[in-house]
Amino acid sequence: MDKVVINKEYCKGCELCITACAFKLLKTGKEFNARGYYAMEFCDSEGKCTGCALCAEMCPDVAIEVWK
């Protein structure tokens, strides 16, 4: 099972990862991180993630890790 891990303290909520994900499995979170940004959240209850890591490649803050 693939897994996307988002370091919420590094995330600045730019939403570039949302545009990179073909399945739209990332969304803006509802809580602020320590720097005052809404961090992204990974939501894949149906197991659609292929582990392509485009979200991680797109992240300018290196806040996303993809594990297979």
- Residue 23's domain comprises 3-67
Pairing of strands 26-32, 64-67: unpaired
Q: For residue 42, give both structure tokens.
A: 């990974």
Q: In CATH, what number is assigned to the domain containing residue 9? A: 3.30.70.20
Burial class of residue 30 (count of CB atoms within 10 Å of its CB; 0-12, 13-18, 19+)? exposed
| Number of structural domains the chain divides into | 1
Q: What's the pTM value of the predicted model, to 2 decimals? A: 0.88
Residue pair 66/21 in contact by the 8 Å Cβ criterion: no
Q: Render each residue's pLDDT in the chain as its tens digit; 68 residues.
A: 568 999 999 999 999 999 999 999 999 999 999 999 999 999 999 999 999 999 999 999 999 999 98
